[in-house]
Amino acid sequence: MKIEQLHQLFLECKSVSTDTRTIKKNIMFFALKGDNFNGNTFSTEALKKGAKYVIIDELEYNTSSQTILVENVLETLQQLATYHREYLNIPIIGLTGSNGKTTTKELINTVLSKKYNTTATKGNLNNHIGVPLTLLSMTKDTEIGIVEMGANHLKEIEFLSNIAKPDFGYITNFGKAHLEGFGSIQGVINGKSELYNYLITYKKHIFFNADDTIQNEKLSNYNLKSGFSNQTQNQLNINFLEANPFVTLKFQDQIITSQLIGKYNFTNISAAITIGSYFNVKFSDIKAAIENYAPTNNRSQIINKNSNKIILDAYNANPTSMKAALENFSNLNATYKIAFLGDMFELGDEAQAEHQNITDLITTLNINTVYLIGTNFNSTKTENKKIKQYKTFEALKKSFNTIDITNATLLIKGSRGMALERIVDLF
């Protein structure tokens, strides 16, 4: 079946699904395969649950007029997404970077939705499956699409860009994330810059942080761009005021006070302001959107529990984001500060050195006590008495009742696999 024919069938459906647990009536089910499952085997179940069409790639499951046999289900999903994106012909903003992608995406969506009907990536569905699903969730009512793109190896952003075909793009930053896949920080820069390469090749518009040396260098000879700066007047001028704990900034002689902690969120907010301004969102609406946005899903959430204030930033971590979070925490005006830090994953051969760097950094910071959790942090060397090391979360849990945590400000941060939000339940 040709992709344009499949698209006509798709338009008859309410949505698409790749999981029989979420199937609703009149959806199109794509029978994807994984390391431990074969979606083809769920084709009958999908039909019973109300799927209008089921896309399969194994002949033995082609048992109904509602099953559609293709060569490869995943490739068909991706091709259909691109076809649908071109069919809608709406502005698409592509977004990638080492840190802050999801928060920035949410901020951009919050700002733009003040004026436009937007569709944005849900959660962090930003890979070779999530990007197509985001595109296919867009409808004739969508006026602007916002597509987050993640990567842990070279050529991945290039691949996703060719699926989403963005008209606009923004890279949050280049940090020490996924070093295991990218190989080095230069590998990260090259990988994330694949979005720039796509946009420049097709003469599309780029938003950028003019205070970022790498971004300035990459875009020095490119004219289709809009920058923001805390330092220079030849860009959209947005001034950082403070982050104690919430980021406060000045734009167009007005003060904007966010509900986001950490100076590192200043650039995320600035990007949303820049993009909103480009798309002619009124300043009053931009200000309201930023001030009313509150983070969720363990991303810099503020939780008041008993006599303590908890900064829960346990969604993910890498050396760059960990350093930024710790330095921000060190600068907070608080009497008694405690940090719980979990291992940072996907660092490959650099894992031990990067965890040691963080341990060494802690000794220089204004934090009363730091609990390091995980095999990598547990094996770092330190004689500093304010640092306590635990090989596992379970080991911390056993001794938690002996820790005096009263009237404290706490930071909880670690990679997703450490699931350190569990610490909140120990109080």
Q: What CATH class has 90-292?
A: alpha beta
- Written as six digits, the tokens of 261 are 């902690």
Strands 254-261 and 246-251: antiparallel
**Which residues in the chain are classed under CATH 3.90.190.20?**
301-426
Q: Which pLDDT does position 411 carry in this prediction?
A: 96
Comparing 115 with 34, the larger pLDDT belongs to 115
Report whether pLDDT(176) > 80: no
Query: Can you tell me the distance from the alpha carbon of 163 to that of 424, in angstroms, rounded to the nearest whole number?
Result: 40
Confidence of residue 219 (pLDDT cuts 50, 70, 90): very high
Q: In this model, does residue 29 exceed pLDDT 90?
A: yes
Domain with CATH 3.40.1190.10 in the chain: 90-292
CATH number of 3-71: 3.40.1390.10
Which residue spans of the chain are classified as CATH 3.40.1390.10? Answer: 3-71
Confidence of residue 178 (pLDDT cuts 50, 70, 90): confident
The reported pLDDT for the residue numbered 211 is 95
- Identify the CA nearest to 391 among candidates 379, 380, 376, 375: 375
Q: How confident is the model at residue 305 (pLDDT cuts 50, 70, 90)?
A: confident
Q: What is the pLDDT of residues 364-382, one digit of tens each?
A: 999 999 999 999 999 999 9
Structure tokens, 307: 């006599």
pLDDT at 68: 96
Query: Which CATH number does the domain 301-426 belong to among 2.160.10.10, 3.90.190.20, 3.40.50.150, 3.30.70.100?
Result: 3.90.190.20
The pTM assigned to this predicted structure is 0.87
Which of 41-55, 110-124, 128-142, 169-183 comes out lowest in average pLDDT?
169-183
> Among 215, 201, 320, 199, which Cα is nearest to 270's?
215
Averaged confidence pLDDT in the chain: 94
Helix (H, G, I), strand (E, B) or coil at 148: strand
